[in-house]
Chain A
Amino acid sequence: DTGVSQNPRHKITKRGQNVTFRCDPISEHNRLYWYRQTLGQGPEFLTYFQNEAQLEKSRLLSDRFSAERPKGSFSTLEIQRTEQGDSAMYLCASSLIGGGGTEAFFGQGTRLTVV
């Protein structure tokens, strides 16, 4: 499968614990996005990388959230001191900007439940 891959698919954690999610984008894609989706809402933008540079962060991304994309390949999203309000589906997407289109390809998401 050469699509966007996210791990783990599900994560249950206790409030106050740290969690880390991984995203492997489509290999030739230069852009990687993180989104959060809660029930009844569309995907909400969190942050994106162009190659290894993190170029924009949403107001939704509190100080407890950090994302990295070392070497412009896979990316990780870490949430420190999780809160119940962090429970959501976290989506990763990638795209090839400059390749003639801006279509985003999505992974299957990581569902986080904070108890």
Chain B
Amino acid sequence: AQRVTQPEKLLSVFKGAPVELKCNYSYSGSPELFWYVQYSRQRLQLLLRHISRESIKGFTADLNKGETSFHLKKPFAQEEDSAMYYCALPSGGSYIPTFGRGTSLIVHP
């Protein structure tokens, strides 16, 4: 069965520090992976997807099929990056988005 694992519930860093939010997945086939973000009092929204291979708000994520990982990285965290981050994987032939439990990122001034 497809599964997304985010091992950290909370990640706390200081402004300017590097950030890495971990995501591991289990999937039979070629996965399409996403990172969603939810800022305080806002709706869940897409941050980036691996197939577009782009950097959004300074964040990047590389799909590592050997390690079945899709970690989200940013070299210099900003206070406005504080949010809940969810890794997601469209599951099965129906492509139903399946989410990890989320990691709360807190960036201190």
Contact = CB atoms under 8 A, between A and B. Distances in A.
A3 B45 CA distance: 11
A25 interface: no
B45 to A, nearest CB: 7
A102 B97 contact: yes
Given A42-B102, A107-B43, A108-B43, A102 B94 contact: no
Interface residues of B, number: 22
Given A40-B9, A103-B49, A48 B43 contact: no
Nearest to A35: B99
Contacts of A3: 43
Interface in A62-108: 91, 93, 97, 101-108
Tell me if A's interface is mostly helix, strand, loop or mixed: loop
A104 B101 contact: no
A93 B99 CA distance: 13
Contact of A42 (B32, B43, B49, B86): B86
A104 B98 CA distance: 11
B101 A40 contact: yes
Interface residues of A, number: 25
B17 interface: no
Interface in B85-102: 86, 90, 94-102
Contact of A43 (B6, B9, B44, B95): B44
Given A42-B101, A43-B44, A103-B46, A56 B94 contact: yes
B25 interface: no
A30 to B, nearest CB: 12
Interface in B71-109: 86, 90, 94-102
A3 B43 CA distance: 10
Interface of B: 4, 6, 9, 32, 34, 42-46, 49, 86, 90, 94-102
Given A42-B100, A43-B86, A48-B96, 4 more contacts: A40-B9, A42-B99, A55-B94, A104-B46
